[in-house]
Chains A and B, each alone.
Chain A
Amino acid sequence: MTESDNIVAETAERIFADLADAQTINHSKDTSWKAPLWRALSEAGLPLSWVSEENDGSGASMADGFSVLNIAGRCGIAVPLAETMLAGWLLSQAGIASPADAMTVAPAHPRDHIKLNADGTLSGRARSVPFARDAKHIAVLAASANGFSIALVDTTQGRIAPGFNLANDASDTVSFDNVRPIAVKPAPQGFDETSLMLMGGVARSLQIAGSLESMLDISVRYANERVAFEKKIAKFQAIQHNLAKLAGEAAAALAAASSAADAVANSSAFDDAIFLEAAAAKIRCAEAAEKGAAIAHQVHGAIGFTSEHILHRYTLRALAWRDDFGNESHWAVELGKRVAARGADELWPLVASR
């Protein structure tokens, strides 16, 4: 996935270039840059990419939406674009129309569960819900006696305990105390919490891959500018090899995330092959975030450790995104259990299934 794969991606790139310049955002004393950026994204229909036109969205393809998330990661943006896209996608699964403005999804952690009570209200607690306090609505996946339902909730009906992720983006705990949703409908057959976690995981994987592409880009540029011991540090073999490793991590993340996105975009059900694609992407992208961020910081030296430098906008977000929708340990255990249950001789057929 690179520049100009499609018009949607080009639009996203143009908006981020105009209104989300990392340097400008990093130097700004307040959050006044957020409103114009969100307005431009909304006018271009990007937050509701995955909502059909009859449900008031822009009806972009899954693939186009995924490429927007990769670009958003490359820009290290801190507005609820991925979250609103995921919420719109979730609501669409049940045929619920998406309202305008920012949304987020709950649960966002595999151990959290929301219950749909017999009286039609919701209860439960969802931790680490990204941008909950900035979202006007929350798309909720809830369990009831008859399977899963999808609900649209006014955020003010929930109780929010504010929190922050590693990059200081909002990551809140939302408690639903018998909250009555605006709308609630049954989820499609077979759609469950794992489906939502896998989809959220693919979104985060694409964002991590994008942030690694930017880490590589600015680290290579820095190495070609910075002089030490009377030459550009790019000329030192130790630096070259570290950056080659960073390129490898960025490449692995990009390949895993793009492959998972392509798999989800071209499949109707979350079967074993999709599970492998999505879980593997989240595991490998999280590993790449750890290794890649360490190298990017090492190459930059002390300047990259300052809040004044933009590097942390990418490194800390990549590290933070590891934790959303199931971290790598969670998915590794789940994937390992599935592989073991299938048996040794079924491992290769699974790996070679696409």
Chain B
Amino acid sequence: MTAALRFDPIRLPPECEVLRQEVRTFLADEIAAGTFDPHKPQREDSDAPEFSRRVGERGWLGMTWPKKYGGHERSFLERYVVTEEMRVVNAPTRRFFVADRQSGPVLLKYAPEHIKMDILPRICRGEVCFAIGMSEPNSGSDLFAAKTKATKTDGGWLINGSKIWTTSAHIADYMIAIFRTSPPTKDNRRHGLTQFLVDMKTPGITVNPIKQITGQIEFNEVVFQDAFVPDDHALGEIDGAWKQATSELAYERSGPERFLETYYVLTELVRAVGSNPDTRSAEGIGRLVAQLHTMRRMSVSVAGMLQAGKEPVVEASIVKDIGTIWEQQLPHRVRELAAFIDVDPLNHATLDEQLAFATKLAPKLTIQGGTTEVLRGIIARGLGLR
């Protein structure tokens, strides 16, 4: 075989089901207490610091990390269950989501011990929010074209330039960003970038929120003017960030958030068609559920393979490619299927409102965190085509 794809049929172990019930009960209580409304994914106040702390108290942040850093040494499959249950009810996870999924694992791997001891327990308590500084005004998908400079100075680095489309930068306590520490070399254009941990309270950092087509303010421009970052905040090899990027991608790319972003419109469609759908609606719903089920099984499979110490990089990229396209098309398919429904006006208001939001949100799903085009390039490389 040129390309042996592997999707082990992972069954979630019994402890996951116990955990799932705990998470559902917790979320039902939060909804009842008015913390968030599962029918309003577009809430302006989706930064919910108190909710974030309560999630931390339950032990659901840093779940897979070592106990000495405040983690809980549980499995990736258990973390998977918490993530998917939060996502399907539109829980306000913004404050902790990036830190828990991505930034914490980077710190675990590359940060010096005293920084790990300082920051990781606070992530686990749900106290800190992270942003990721990758894109710049003239480098998006072409990550290695980044120009924002880190210039060596006494005891650290001075940062000058700007990052853009930085999600949550306006509420973030820290950013993990890549900056240019050397020019690229002739034979390696990826050389010369270094990963840094940046405290967002550092003087010389300005955050300018950018309004999105949904009406939300979620991403930002971040301008650095002689912002000082101490030496011990460099993460990993100086000039060698390109070597560090790939291994984390499997975690980032294949989670349930990569196909559940617009799930609520499917739920509302099922509610609107009622218990006795016509053939057209039934077939449409059946196909969507079959596709959703398949992606979830692929995604769970990748989580299980990660837990087993494998590195399913191509499989993870495939999950994101298929998953994001599906969640992007979902509002359009639901709109078609809802065209002939004559329903209770209350239900229909919810469906219409959610469809409008999901339709406006949809374009970003195949852009954020690696575009479809970039992903297909990675898959093609895995297949031996490049």
Contacts and interface: CB of A to CB of B under 8 A. Distances in A.
Decide if A and B are genuine partners: yes
Interface of A: 2-3, 213, 216-217, 220-221, 223-224, 234-235, 237, 239-241, 243-245, 247-248, 250-252, 254-256, 258-259, 261-263, 266, 276-277, 279-281, 283-284, 287, 328-329, 331-337, 339-341, 343-345, 347-348, 351-352, 354
Contact of A2 (B6, B285, B294, B295): B6
Given A252-B322, A332-B290, A221 B279 contact: no
B273 interface: yes
Interface in B284-317: 284-287, 289-298, 301, 314-315
A344 B268 contact: yes
Given A262-B9, A328-B287, A335-B286, A248 B276 contact: no
Contact of A255 (B271, B289, B301, B385): B301
Contacts of A262: 9, 11
B88 A348 contact: yes
15 contacts: A217-B2, A223-B385, A243-B383, A255-B7, A255-B9, A258-B9, A266-B11, A283-B287, A283-B290, A332-B285, A334-B282, A340-B276, A340-B277, A352-B20, A354-B12
Interface string B131-165: 00000000000000000000000000000000000
A347 B290 contact: no
A251 B275 contact: no
Smallest CB-CB A-B distances: 6 pairs: A332-B286, A336-B282, A336-B286, A262-B9, A344-B271, A335-B286
A50 B101 CA distance: 44
A280 B287 CA distance: 8
B283 A336 contact: yes
Interface stretch (B60-68, B236-244, B371-379): B371-379
Given A335-B290, A337-B282, A340-B274, 11 more contacts: A243-B380, A247-B314, A247-B318, A251-B322, A255-B9, A258-B7, A280-B289, A287-B291, A331-B286, A333-B283, A348-B263
Contact of B384 (A220, A239, A261, A277): A220
Most buried by A among B279, B385, B386: B385
A347 B295 CA distance: 15
Nearest to B270: A344
Interface of B: 1-9, 11-12, 20, 84-85, 88, 263, 266-268, 270-271, 273-277, 279, 281-287, 289-298, 301, 314-315, 318, 321-322, 373, 375-377, 379-380, 382-386
Contacts of A351: 289, 292-293, 296
A279 B286 CA distance: 9
Nearest to B315: A251
A252 B295 contact: yes
Contacts of B291: 283-284, 287
A240 B275 CA distance: 44
A224 B7 contact: no
B286 A333 contact: yes
Interface of A is mostly: helix
B283 A332 contact: yes
Given A258-B9, A283-B290, A251 B318 contact: yes
Given A240-B376, A245-B376, A251 B5 contact: yes
A247 B287 contact: no
Nearest to B11: A354
A352 B299 CA distance: 12
Contacts of B297: 255-256, 259, 354
Contact of A339 (B285, B295, B385): B285
B298 A251 contact: yes
Nearest to B377: A240
Contacts of A2: 1, 4, 6
Nearest to B85: A352
A298 to B, nearest CB: 15
Contacts of B315: 251
A85 B133 CA distance: 56
Contacts of A328: 287
A332 B287 contact: yes
Contact of A252 (B266, B283, B294): B294
B298 A284 contact: no
A237 B20 CA distance: 43
A279 B290 CA distance: 7
Nearest to B373: A241
B286 A261 contact: no
B385 A243 contact: yes
A220 B385 contact: yes
Contacts of B314: 247
